[in-house]
Structure 1
């Protein structure tokens, strides 16, 4: 590789890495638009969650076919990054197979990479078939159309091309090693590409060299494109699954997160010795500017992290009892809508030099309807099924809270129940004096 090639590679690496860093900065900025929440408790349990769920894929394998195939792709992605490191070193310094000094261990590494590349190809082709030929129900749901549907296929095509280029590059390299071409000393084991290499028999050395270098360049450029495509794709979970599982809620499922200001008010009402006109303590929590959430800025940062981490796999929606009975609710759509609105807000901030200018739109009504929110049974099936511990339910409950406490827009049945509790001390429309009348009928 000439010095000109080294310089060109360095420029591409700087441009690709710089654009990725810019997108990461924007991603962090958007997530921080959410209000603060403390998730620093019980670090040992959080590390365990991250190790078991994000790294160990423990929730993925509950559906064995998809889970095992995903593990192939996941391990391939992680381990083949070692090969990418070697490519970067070769590109910057003009070396060829910089890690070949490892000897037998290097042979093991390259052989493992090739087997994993083949398994990734098998997994990706199977995933494509499940989506586009078999058409599993959760992949053809009406909330997965347009860009989300295309995005899933684009990623599969990306992976096929990258793995194929890797094997083609190795096959050409093996052929050049075999014929003793200058600069191609024997290095590496090629359990898969050795079956591809014979296609180069009878081909001129210069042409094979051109193919090997072309595959090398397209492969590394494809990796840089893929890296920067992640920000716009559901496959951002490749990076965010780890912090998402670490910062997930450790409280028992179903435990409601009460507002401190409301709790204090109720305690004041129930304390017969309290002075309702007394000034609040200096350290008392101030009443929030808004109860619940109507837009993404009202959610907490972990919920916004959840939205970016969503894989759009549809396990939540396929397990949702409301969705199964024909209701409009789709937990997957809740997360996709939250992410879309967050992106819209982020673009608004970018266009207005770091300041959000009200656009007369909100997450509630413009993206998510009250009908969807009230269809939820709060059963936690979506939370339990999510392979990376996302909680659509927390967003649903915060938006319900806004409807009830800010707009008094609960369904009639719920309003009647709350009125009865306020007036009668029970959900039923009976006077408190009449609540024991049933015993006289016994």
Structure 2
């Protein structure tokens, strides 16, 4: 098949073109522009993440094992088997179909047509058949997921019942699904319009295409598919689907010990040691307890926020949320990400995460039960962010209910939450 006149590509029997044409120039220009925009966006995100405090990690072998099981293997997704299987279809399809995109990019740069086909022979057809099966799985899973969202039958995905999903979040979720279905359709049309080859699924579309226009149809589908992929890659960097990239480092930096173990505050221990006359580092007058904004959190917290898929499993399992409290762990993650996005646009913004995004009411509702961490498919931790903000709220702002302050005073003076003299410890058993 000769695309030389219509598409700026060559017959598959002639692997390399002899000159550069306008289509190649246009394609290379688009590729460079989109590559620059995507790289710049990732640079902005990385800069924002590094506003947070660095973290120290140990036991890298165990961390890589968790990456393989949770991020690559999606182990916890299969706690809901049907959803897990559909998600694997989309995940594998996204990863493996991109191998075909490599050929499309090479064809666009070199001005060739299916450049790998002459080298792979009949095995090339087997590979494309496999990709078409994956594409069918992706398309079907997208239809199911879109139907589930539009039906509003799942409370955690229903924007009418979950305030944080209203507006862009629900549009973002549907837009991603629609884009993926369009990309899979373009792939099938492109393969069906190839008059020299017949593939497993797209061959059933071939009779529906006008024989005299196959060249134009294949060219159009080729451009739609590759431009769609490039636009999709850029859009993802503004979407909740950043978890495609950031889930892996987020899992790597996740806690290895029990989720029930709350991280201590070494600087508090140091201050107590100084007060008791024990050895310690010099007291820091600028010391801040807890977190008020992004710079007070850790890089792990920032990665968690960018890795959140807004699936709502954490909020669904949160007992505070179930009893009508203001707290939604998913909203905590979304608020953290929104605050980081705000800092990208305005580094001098006077807003803070605590107060302008997350309220005192939300923080006080948390029971620290760890249900949100256990529910998350990749063990992100809204709880770590909640604790950091609440520590600032209590220790820096002295913003606590009266009953809490009374308890704190009793612990300080009586070494117990109750208002008994330390010598009357047995009275505690009667309270």
- Considering the TM-score relative to the shorter chain, is it more than 0.5? yes
| CA distance in 2: counterparts of 1:382 and 1:238, whole angstroms | 21
| SS of equivalent residue, structure 2 residue 104 | helix
In the alignment, which of 223, 232, 235 is matched to residue 226 of structure 1? 232
The residue aligned with 1:152 is 173
Match of 1:235 among 241, 249, 253: 241
Give the 5 Å matches for 1:192-271. Answer: 192-200=201-209, 203-205=210-212, 207-269=213-275
Contact 2:317 2:375 in 1 (8 A): yes
Whether 1:67 aligns to 2:84 is: yes
Are 1:407 and 2:401 counterparts? no
Taking structure 2 as the reference length, the TM-score comes to 0.91
Other-structure match for 2:17 = none
* Deviation digits for residues 279-334 of structure 1 (CA, Å, limit 9, x no counterpart): x55xx685663111111121111111111111001011001111111111000000
1:132 to 140, 150, 155: 150
Are the structure 2 counterparts of residues 285 and 312 from structure 1 closer, same or farther at C-alpha, using a change threshold of 3 Å? farther
Query: Structure 2 CA distance, aligned partners of 1:327 and 1:417?
Result: 23
Rounded to whole Å, the distance in 2 between the matches of 1:98 and 1:72 is 27
Task: Count matched residues.
Answer: 408
1:31 to 26, 43, 49: 49
C-alpha RMSD of the superposition:
1.8
Structure 1, unmatched stretches of 5+, are: 178-185, 350-356
Q: How far apart are residue 268 of structure 1 and its match? A: 4.4
Deviation at 1:217, TM superposition (A): 0.3
1:380 aligns to 2:389 (yes or no): no
Q: Which runs of 5+ in 2 are unaligned?
A: 1-6, 9-20
In 2: Cα distance, 1:43 partner to 1:378 partner: 27
Counterparts of 1:402 and 1:204 in 2: how far apart (Å)?
Answer: 69
- Quick check: 1:393 aligned with 2:411? no
Distance 2:270 2:245 in 1: 40
TM-score normalised to structure 1 length: 0.89
- 1:387 counterpart SS class: coil
Q: 1:127 deviation in Å?
A: 0.1
Give 1:422 deviation, angstroms: 1.1
Q: Following TM superposition, by how much is the alpha carbon of 1:19 offset from its aligned partner in structure 2, in angstroms?
A: 0.4
Kindly provide the CA deviation profile for residues 188-245 of structure 1, in whole angstroms up to 9, marking residues without a partner as x.
x611111111112xx343x121011000001100000000001110011111111111
C-alpha separation between the residues in 2 aligned to 1:142 and 1:244?
Answer: 26
* Structure 2: distance between partners of 1:106 and 1:289: 63
In the TM superposition, residue 389 of structure 1 has moved relative to its aligned partner by 2.1
Matching of residues 327-406 of structure 1 within 5 Å:
327-349=325-347, 357=348, 359-406=349-396
Paired residue secondary structure (2:193): helix
Q: Is the 8 A contact 1:417 1:427 kept in 2?
A: yes
Of 260-269 and 27-36, deviating more is: 260-269
